[in-house]
Amino acid sequence: MNVKSILVVDDDPALARAVAINLRAHGYDVAVANDGAAALDLAARRHPDLVVLDLGLPDIDGVEVIEGIRGWSAMPILVLSARGTSAEKVEALDAGADDYLTKPFAMDEFLARVRAGVRRGGHDGSDQPELVVTAAFTIDLAAHKIERAGELVRLTPTEWSLLELLVRNTGKLVLQRTALAEVWGPGYQHETHYLRVYMAQLRRKLEPDPARPRYLLTEPGSGYRFENPDAPRTEHR
């Protein structure tokens, strides 16, 4: 069994200990950091499957920690913070956080968010192609990189998660509820407008003609599918 590792970052030792105990009870390997510097060090050394991050750290603001990790890794980051305003949530998500849970929180919801985050960061099997080449763009799944016309395409973490889910299921229908659960987590299965918004954003960034998509297809009322009609060449890295 592949044990998933989680880095918990919080300057409240009692809360960090309680969170770590609950995560270990559910089978996770947990490391704890109480400040931003230690968080960045442990993230670089341990490469956890998920970072649970408080924003109010004593040395480095949590948003800076997110930006520091995003400089080299796309590992999922779940913010767990007392900062609850819309502007503060947007700032963290724009910096690269994947999810945001406000303190105080229910442990069952927290654990559900953790499971969703770990799934987003997981890779199923080494036989999956890591480089997908189309006539319009190239997706490097291993490097979390996309090139179009020789230039890098910048995606938000959520856009990347949705695209990766579709690409790793090339040719298969991904149901709306499946995409919502995998990308946003449990409790979002009915928020279908999220999918419409993010699919439109992906098409604007990747499709030669977003109004007539060739790659990111909609199955009305059902879900979405990634297709590569250009006699696709897929390579293993």
Task: Please tell me which of 49-53, 110-114, 150-154 the model is most confident about, judged by mean pLDDT.
Answer: 49-53
Asked if pLDDT for residue 235 goes beyond 80, the answer is no
Asked if pLDDT for residue 186 goes beyond 70, the answer is no
pLDDT for residue 122: 62
Q: How far is CA 170 from CA 26, 34, 46, 110, 216, in A?
A: 32, 41, 31, 31, 10
* Residue ranges of the chain that CATH labels 3.40.50.2300: 5-121
Q: What is the mean pLDDT of the chain?
A: 86
Asked if pLDDT for residue 124 goes beyond 70, the answer is no
Asked if pLDDT for residue 8 goes beyond 90, the answer is yes
Q: Which residue would you say has higher pLDDT here, 207 or 104?
A: 207
Task: Please tell me which of 3-7, 119-123, 184-188, 212-216 the model is most confident about, judged by mean pLDDT.
Answer: 212-216
Asked if pLDDT for residue 161 goes beyond 50, the answer is yes
Asked if pLDDT for residue 228 goes beyond 70, the answer is yes
* Residue ranges of the chain that CATH labels 1.10.10.10: 131-235
| Residue with tokens 């149901």, as numbered in its chain | 175
Burial status of residue 131 (CB atoms within 10 A of its CB: 0-12, 13-18, 19 or more): middle
Asked if pLDDT for residue 159 goes beyond 70, the answer is yes
Return the CATH architecture of domain 5-121: 3-Layer(aba) Sandwich (3.40)
Give the pLDDT band (50/70/90) at residue 176: confident
Burial status of residue 150 (CB atoms within 10 A of its CB: 0-12, 13-18, 19 or more): exposed
Asked if pLDDT for residue 231 goes beyond 50, the answer is no
| Residue with tokens 């890295």, as numbered in its chain | 237
The gap from C-alpha 5 to its chain's centroid, in whole angstroms, comes to 16
Strands 5-9 and 99-102: unpaired
CATH topology (fold) of 131-235: Arc Repressor Mutant, subunit A (1.10.10)
Q: Which residue would you say has higher pLDDT here, 187 or 228?
A: 228
Task: Please tell me which of 100-104, 114-118, 215-219 the model is most confident about, judged by mean pLDDT.
Answer: 215-219
